[in-house]
Structure 1
C-alpha cells in the first residue's frame, strides 16, 4: 500500500480509539467522574453519541452535501466510467436490500418495530458505501496520480447523492409500511405508504440539502465566498466526527452477535463489489486501463463512516455498522495491495 495511505490510517484509527476511550471512561457525560458507566440518570439525560450524531445529521453533513451539489460540474463528468462503477454498485445494494427484506418478511419481523423495518436498507448502505474520501483520495492519488484522482473525484461527487438518497427512500418506504401494518391499514394503504414515504424523504436531512444544492446548481447561481467558506468549514467536521462516533458506538456495546454480519459485509465490500465492477467495466463498457483500475480500486474501499450516521439515524445495526467500518478498514490494509497488483497486470 502507498506510504501516503499508510500515513492516513493511523490517524483514522487513533480518532476511532479516542471515541472508544471517551465511551468507556465517560469523558463526554456528566458521569465522567463516576467512572466508565457514570450514573443512570446522567446517561439518560444526554447520550453523547446521540447528540454528536444529531449534529452530524442536521448540521455538518447537510452543509457538505449542499456545497458538493452546488459546485458540481455536470458538463465534464466521465459518464461511461461512472456507469461502470455505479451500475454494479446499485445492483448489489438492491440485491442485499431485497434479500434481507425477504428474510425479515419470512420471519414476520417487518412489522415488529421501526428499527427492524430499516434493517435491510441499513445493511445495504453499509455493504455499498465506501470510504471514498479519507482512504480513497490518498490511495488513488498515490497509485494513479492526477489523472486517476480526477476520475475518482467524479465518483466521490455522486457517492452520497446516489447511495444515501436511494437507501433513505428504501428505509422510509419500509418505515411507512411497518407503521401502516401496526395501525391495521387496509383500503388505500398503498397511497398512504407513498405519501408518507415522499414526505419523510423530501424533508430528510440527507435528501433535502442534495435537492437544494442541485436546484442551486441548475439555476447557475454562484456561491458567494463567505457562504462557500462557511459550508466548507461545517463540512470539514464530518470526517473526524464520524470517526469519533464509530469509537463511541464500539465502546458502549459488545460485539457479540455482530461478527456474522460484519463478515458478510466484508466479503461483499472488499471482494464481491470490486469483481462486479471489474467485469462490468472490462466486458460491458470496455474501459481503458486507467479508468478501469480507478473504478475497481474505488469499489474495493472499506465501508465509509456515513453508513454509521445512517444506522444511528434509524437506531438499528449501530454496533454492527461501526464494527464493519473499523474491521474492514483494517482488512483493507491487506486487500488493497492485492487489488492494486491485479490492476497493474491489466
Structure 2
C-alpha cells in the first residue's frame, strides 16, 4: 500500500480521535441535553442528513453524464452489491429480532463502502488517473442506488410496524410508505437531481457553488461524527454480529464482485481491479448517518466503521496481491 494511502488512513483516524475527544469531554453537551434524549452526535448527524448530504446528492445526480457510463463495469459492481445487501436484509427480516429498522441498517453496514475518504486515495495511489476516473464513475451512482433502495425498504418496514400498532388498510400503508420514501432527505434530492439532469438545464454557477460548498462539509463532519458517536454510545457489548458484518464487507463482498465480474462477465485488467478494491473498502460513514436517522444500532455501526477501517490496512494488500495474480 502506498504512503499516500497510509497518510490518508492516518488522517482519518486523527479526525475520528478529535471527534471522540470532543465527545468524551462533553464540550458540545451531555447525551440528555434539553431533556429530550438527544445528544450532540445526533444533532450533527441530522445536520449531515438534512443539509449537507442532500446537497451532495443533488449536485452529483444533476451533473452526471449517463451517456458515457461504462455500464458493463457498473453492472459487474452493483449486481453483487445489491444481491448481498438484499440477502443480509432478508436474513435479518427472517430472524425477526430488534427494531423495524434493524434489517436495513445492518444491510447498509455490509455493503456501503468508504468511497471518498479511503476509496479516492486508494484508486489514485494504486491505479493512477485512469483508475480514479473509473472509481469516480462508480461513486456517482453508489449512494444514489444503495441509499434509495434501503430507504424504500426501511420505510416499508416502519409502515408495517405502524399498521400493526394502529391497523390501517393496504392502500393507506402503501401511501404512507410512498410519501415517506419520496419526501425524504436522501431520495428527494436524488429524484430532483435526476429530473434536473433529464431537462438538460445545467446548474447555474452560483447554485453549483453553494451545493459544492455544502457538499464539502460531508467528509469532515462525518469523520468527527464517528468519533463523537464512539464517545456517546461506546462499543457494542455483543461483538459477534458486528464482526460478521465487517467480515462480509471486507472479504465476502469483494469476493462476490471478483467472481461475477471476472468469471461471470469476463471483466479484466484495471476496471476489474478498481471495482474489486471498491468492494473491499471499509464501511462508510453514511451507514452511521442512516443508523442515527432511524435510531437503531448506532454503537454497532460506529464500531463496524472503525474496526473495518483498521482491518483494511491488512485486507487491502491481500486483495491487491490476488488481483496481481489475475
TM beyond 0.5? yes
Quote the Cα distance in structure 1 between the aligned partners of 2:51 and 2:120: 24
Q: Is the aligned partner of 1:60 residue 2:52?
A: yes
Query: Paired residue for 1:69, among 58, 61, 67?
Result: 61
For residue 216 of structure 1, what is the aligned residue in structure 2?
196
Quote the Cα distance in structure 2 between the aligned partners of 1:310 and 1:45: 18
For residue 81 of structure 2, what is the aligned residue in structure 1?
89
Shift of 1:159: 0.4
Shift of 1:44: 4.6
Structure 2 vs 1, CA of residues 267 and 46 (structure 1 numbering), >3 Å: closer, same or farther?
closer
Residues 128 and 303, structure 1, Cα contact 8 Å, conserved in 2 = yes
For residue 174 of structure 1, what is the aligned residue in structure 2?
157
Q: TM-score, normalised by structure 2?
A: 0.97
1:62-119 Cα distance to aligned partner (Å, 9 max, x none): 0000000011011111000000000000000000000001001xx5x5xxxxxx0010
For residue 18 of structure 2, what is the aligned residue in structure 1?
18
Larger C-alpha radius of gyration, 1 or 2?
1
Residues 121 and 170, structure 1, Cα contact 8 Å, conserved in 2 = yes
The worse-fitting range, judged by mean Cα deviation, of 143-152 and 211-220 is 143-152
1:226-259 Cα distance to aligned partner (Å, 9 max, x none): 1111100000000111111111111012324242
Quote the Cα distance in structure 1 between the aligned partners of 2:175 and 2:73: 35
Quote the Cα distance in structure 2 between the aligned partners of 1:184 and 1:191: 12
Quote the Cα distance in structure 2 between the aligned partners of 1:94 and 1:199: 22
Q: Counterparts of 1:1-346 in structure 2 under 5 Å?
A: 1-29=1-29, 44=36, 47-104=39-96, 116-185=99-168, 188=169, 190-346=170-326
Residues 258 and 319, structure 1, Cα contact 8 Å, conserved in 2 = no
Structure 2 vs 1, CA of residues 316 and 169 (structure 1 numbering), >3 Å: closer, same or farther?
same
Quote the Cα distance in structure 1 between the aligned partners of 2:92 and 2:276: 25
Aligned-partner SS, 1:222:
coil
| CA-atom RMSD in angstroms | 1.5
Shift of 1:265: 1.0
Residues 81 and 291, structure 1, Cα contact 8 Å, conserved in 2 = yes
- Structure 1 runs not aligned, ≥5 long: 32-36, 110-115
1:272-322 Cα distance to aligned partner (Å, 9 max, x none): 000000000011210122111111000000010011000000000101101
- Structure 2 runs not aligned, ≥5 long: none
Residues 52 and 214, structure 2, Cα contact 8 Å, conserved in 1 = yes
